[in-house]
Structure 1
Amino acid sequence: YEWVAEGVKPEKDNLQNLPPEICANWYHRFQKGKHIVFQDLEEIREIDPLQYENLKRQDIRALAVVPLYDDGKVIAFYGVDNPPPLSLEYTSNMLQITGHFLVSCIRRRNLMRELEDMSYKDALTGFGNRFAMNRYISQIDHKKSMGVVYCDITGLKHVNDTMGHKAGDQLILRACDCMSKAFGDYGVFRIGGDELLALCSQIEQDVLEERIRLLRKLMEENTVNMAVGMIWQDEATTELDILLQESEKLMYADKAEYYRKNGIERRRR
């Protein structure tokens, strides 16, 4: 976060991914419960040359920087560049006082993010759930191509019944790993106990077919079998519910073919 006075050049974009050694001396002081205050940049030329060059480049002449702690650990720091000389001590004191409020705000923000993750993610797999799927669908550009891949993990109930739910969970995770490697750059969701879904907005048909081949290869390598139904449209003009239904039908057809070839009784749903 950054706020600049009128006429001051923003530096936030230039400070991303700074080498950690630049702020190493600062963190050393922060871990001792100290903060950074100096009236003249030249004060640190000899004792902290890397930070000196970094600040000089930004035309910083004076500075007050205070760390933020959470549970005794430094989680961030913030400060004021070039405060008026007579206000430097006051600025430092105010930064220390308001730091407690900032930490409280950060905790609240992190809690809200965790709650949102919990409401949109499947607890076992980390895949999106149905709420996440609906949110993804609401953001789709219907003028672009769309691919739907509907998968059902074959034999999950049998594994749960004969080997226990821990083994079943491992099977689910292996299946999700296959889906992630094939479609992780699109939307992947767990929409039922044994049902996984990939929604691929703006994907070309040949790319989708290539990903399906990759998925099947990964399944073979990871001792996973899934029935797969795939459908593609050059424009997502058809209602997504209809595309989901059509891909589900294709998945059931693939599943029936698997059971026909393997001579295993197809369980009723």
Structure 2
Amino acid sequence: MSKIWEFFENLGEYVYVADAETHELIYMNKKTLKSYGFQSLEEIIGLKCYEILQGNSLPCGMCNNEQLKPGFFKEWEYYNPLLRRELHIKDTLVEEDGRKYRMEIAIDCGNLNGRGHKSEDYRNMEVALNEAIRVAQRQESMDQTLQVLLEFVGKNLEAGRAYIFEKDDHDHDHNTYEWVAKGVAPEKDTLQDLPPEICAEWYRKFDENQSFVTENLEEMKDVDPQMYEVLVRQNIHSLVVVPLYDDGKVIGFYGVDNPSTRYFEFVSEMLQIMGHFIVSSLKQRNLVRELEVMSYSDPLTTLGNRYAMERYIEQVDHTEPIGVVYCDITGLKRINDSEGHSAGDRLIRRCCDCLKRVFEGNGMFRIGGDELVVLCTGISEKEFYQKVEELKTELAAHDVSMAVGAAVNTLEAVGKDHLLTESERRMYQDKAEYYRSTGLDRRKI
């Protein structure tokens, strides 16, 4: 026998091996083959583990392949609905011939020696979990999907609060999603930008593929006083927190506060199962956000593009005054022709920097090669025109020239097209005055 797992051929426990990348079954020992109705290994080769072992059409939400390491076993418990057995599972990663394999050894725990109550609760929870994932997948956005999942977790575990924390590039943690039970105060807004030392003990456990579980918060008082102070303020007396992994790296965590003692013994496992779907949803959310940035922003200046401007206008109060500043960069063609487009790009960025310094907090857009637009809301007409004069001073101070036209009105009164056209018309007046006063040939610049 060339494969290490074939040593378990006659073991009285369930043993199977699957390709960690493709999920294709490679091996089952005699007990596992017989239990699933197979006569030989030839019958299972090429079949997917999730199809045969769980009866699923897609990879299992509880799949922990990313957490497995060669030489280490991850242990957990699971009720298998096809075998109708409670299993104590040991998973590890085996590398052979340049490939990675998931090897699982499952010890049959029967009906837990009469403790059928857990198995019944566990089975009911799994059914609800699958239904929650189906409902979550039908949501219009990943933000809604994640909220549905947290609501399911919180309600079904009878917890006070369910939440997701994500780690940023500086290792600070942010509470990005939250569900709270009726009568429980939300904490999301107060749990932002937590410094690394607050959750340091938890991350040490996460790095060892462990969750953090405590049924009595007072046990943390001396062991982790910083985290204890954060939690006791929230009236937490018990909690379960599990890590969120992406490609083997911890990207955050999620958990529940004060879950029902009835479910406490398998809360961690249920959260881990759901955790894989949560990570997938977070990754899809991030992809959508990246695509949205690409669709609505100008890559050279980071300002919004024409599509972003249209969306911005749709969202403002059409009964309130809005000021429009329409700018045209003077001399861009000459710079591009004489010094190259890199120099022209630098000129565009310098003009945009002037806009940002004066109109920070307002909508700023690049709607053409040399055309920039600022939309100002929540500002009086007097303040708006003062800002326009500030812009002209800023441009002169940084030795760049733009023709500037400005107009202010309500969209309800004149409509967006009229307001944009009016500010553009005044910009062309300003440009004509520039050419007249300087004597320059507009065709050359």
TM value normalised by structure 1: 0.91
Larger mean Cα displacement after TM superposition, 163-172 or 115-124: 115-124
For residues 213-232 of structure 1, what are the structure 2 equivalents within 5 Å?
213-232=389-408
Q: Deviations over 1:103-154 (max 9, x none)?
A: 0000111111111111111121111111111112222323222211110000
Larger mean Cα displacement after TM superposition, 100-109 or 13-22: 13-22
Partner of residue 88 from structure 1, selected from 264, 267, 279:
264
- Whole-angstrom CA distance in 2 between matches of 1:202 and 1:141: 10
Q: Aligned in 2, Cα 1:5/1:120: closer, same or farther, shift over 3 Å?
A: same
Secondary structure at the aligned position of 2:286 is classed as helix
- Whole-angstrom CA distance in 1 between matches of 2:298 and 2:216: 53
Secondary structure at the aligned position of 2:197 is classed as helix
Structure 1 residue aligned with 2:427: 251
Moved over 6 A (4+): none
Larger mean Cα displacement after TM superposition, 82-91 or 59-68: 82-91
Q: Which amino acid aligns with 1:163?
A: E
Secondary structure at the aligned position of 1:2 is classed as strand
Hey, which of these two has a bigger chunk of helix by percent?
1
Residue 210, structure 1, aligned to residue 386, structure 2: yes
Residue 198, structure 1, aligned to residue 374, structure 2: yes
Structure 1 residue aligned with 2:276: 100
Larger mean Cα displacement after TM superposition, 152-161 or 201-210: 201-210
Q: Deviations over 1:62-113 (max 9, x none)?
A: 2211111223332221112223445333111111121111000001111111
Larger mean Cα displacement after TM superposition, 252-261 or 67-76: 67-76
Residue 125, structure 1, aligned to residue 301, structure 2: yes
Larger mean Cα displacement after TM superposition, 5-14 or 144-153: 5-14
1:201 to partner: Cα distance: 2.4
Q: Aligned in 2, Cα 1:156/1:135: closer, same or farther, shift over 3 Å?
A: same
Structure 2 residue aligned with 1:4: 180
Asked if the contact 1:146–1:236 (Cα under 8 Å) also holds between the matched residues in 2, the reply is no
Q: Deviations over 1:159-189 (max 9, x none)?
A: 1111111111111111111111112321111
- Whole-angstrom CA distance in 2 between matches of 1:16 and 1:229: 41
- Whole-angstrom CA distance in 1 between matches of 2:398 and 2:378: 28
Tell me which of the two structures has the higher relative contact order, counting C-alpha pairs closer than 8 angstroms and 6 or more residues apart. 1
Asked if the contact 2:334–2:444 (Cα under 8 Å) also holds between the matched residues in 1, the reply is no
Secondary structure at the aligned position of 1:54 is classed as helix
Hey, which of these two has a bigger chunk of strand by percent?
2
Asked if the contact 1:190–1:196 (Cα under 8 Å) also holds between the matched residues in 2, the reply is yes
Q: Deviations over 1:36-72 (max 9, x none)?
A: 1122223222210121222222232222111112233
- Whole-angstrom CA distance in 2 between matches of 1:117 and 1:38: 41
Gaps of 5+ in 2: 1-176
Residue 30, structure 1, aligned to residue 206, structure 2: yes
Q: Which amino acid aligns with 2:279?
A: V
Larger Cα Rg: Structure 1 or Structure 2?
Answer: 2
Number of residue pairs matched by the alignment: 269
Q: Which amino acid aligns with 2:375?
A: L
- Whole-angstrom CA distance in 1 between matches of 2:254 and 2:285: 17
Q: Aligned in 2, Cα 1:223/1:71: closer, same or farther, shift over 3 Å?
A: farther
Q: Which amino acid aligns with 1:217?
A: T
Gaps of 5+ in 1: none
Asked if the contact 1:69–1:75 (Cα under 8 Å) also holds between the matched residues in 2, the reply is yes
Q: Which amino acid aligns with 1:15?
A: L
- Whole-angstrom CA distance in 2 between matches of 1:195 and 1:117: 20
Partner of residue 238 from structure 1, selected from 410, 414, 417:
414
Residue 179, structure 1, aligned to residue 355, structure 2: yes
TM value normalised by structure 2: 0.57
1:255 to partner: Cα distance: 1.0
Asked if the contact 2:329–2:371 (Cα under 8 Å) also holds between the matched residues in 1, the reply is yes
Q: Aligned in 2, Cα 1:71/1:170: closer, same or farther, shift over 3 Å?
A: farther
Q: Deviations over 1:244-263 (max 9, x none)?
A: 11211211111111122222
Structure 1 residue aligned with 2:100: none
* Aligned-CA RMSD value: 2.2
